[in-house]
Structure 1
Amino acid sequence: MADKRPNPAQWVWYALGGRLPMRYREWVLHDVTARTWIWRHAARSSVLLAPLCTVWLLLPGPLWIRGAMVVLAVMVGYFYSFVYIEESAEHRLAKHGYPRGTGKQIRMEAKAEVEEEIRQRYIATHRRPPEA
């Protein structure tokens, strides 16, 4: 892989829903399956919300009304963004040639080992046989 990450202009295009060149295919897979994938999704959502919020803050009128519009827009925008987070991730992967379900499967496999370790610690701590 010649380029590991897209440049800032490409990343903004990607955040807006654009498709990156195929040389970034592995980076896209990492982007939606990394441990920090939810934070990455939040950053992409912020790129979509920032221009709207900026325009609303610049409209004429009382500051409290403009501020309330921005707060409401951010709440609704992030709500819908996070409600469809997995669908959005799978759509990004499909755009870059991965079959649907790839992201969810990779995230579940990565999480399974950690969850098994947690389960074993729970059993060792709370499921001991009663002492005589």
Structure 2
Amino acid sequence: MEVHRPGPLRWLRYVYGLRLPEEYRGWVLHDATARTWLLRFALRICVEALPWLAAAFAVLVTFTPLPLSLVVLALVLSLFLGLFFTMTSADELAEVRLVKHGFPYGTGKKVRAEHGRSATWP
């Protein structure tokens, strides 16, 4: 299966859960099964959270008397907690993404196991 990497705009669409065109199927499989699949997953979660964190920052700085350091600390903590709880379901969320792109359920776990990679986190 040939691997075509999506451009930045298509990748952003992919981050937010939209389906990529058929030509990127190989890349989606690679993304969900590569040695770095958990790191890739965590990066997608961080990118997905950025607009929400920026909006929360603007609201908190504008409408509350909280010190800037406390606002930043709260947002970092919320990102950490969101990342932690999402990572606990990384394998299932990767399977959902693969199914959305036409692969049978269980493909990601099977391919990772064949290559001796972790199927779940931690």
- Shared fold, TM over 0.5: yes
Specify the TM-score bucket, using the shorter chain as the normaliser. 0.7 to 0.9
Q: So what's the TM-score if we normalise by structure 2?
A: 0.84
Match of 1:83 among 84, 88, 98: 88
Structure 1 runs, 4 residues or longer, greater than 6 Å off = none
SS of 1:111 mapped into structure 2:
coil
Where does the alignment leave 5 or more consecutive residues of structure 1 unmatched? 113-132
TM superposition shift of 1:28:
0.3
Question: 1:105/1:2 Cα in 2 relative to 1: closer, same or farther (>3 Å)?
Answer: closer
* Identical counterparts, % of pairs: 44
Q: Over the residues paired in the alignment, what is the CA RMSD in angstroms?
A: 1.8
Aligned residues: 112
The one-character-per-residue Cα deviations of 1:24-83 (angstroms, maximum 9, x if unpaired) are 111100100011111110111111111122222223232133113202211221012201
Instruction: Provide the residue aligned with 2:110 in structure 1.
Output: 105
Instruction: Provide the residue aligned with 1:24 in structure 2.
Output: 24
Instruction: Provide the residue aligned with 1:38 in structure 2.
Output: 38
Q: How does 1:93-132 map to 2 (within 5 A)?
A: 93-111=98-116
Could you say which structure has the higher helix fraction? 1
Paired AA for residue 27 in structure 1: W
Matched, 1:53 2:53: yes
TM superposition shift of 1:92:
0.5
Paired AA for residue 42 in structure 1: A
Where does the alignment leave 5 or more consecutive residues of structure 2 unmatched? 118-122
Greater relative contact order (CA < 8 Å, ≥ 6 in sequence): 2
**Which entry has the higher C-alpha Rg, 1 or 2?**
1
Instruction: Provide the residue aligned with 1:72 in structure 2.
Output: 77
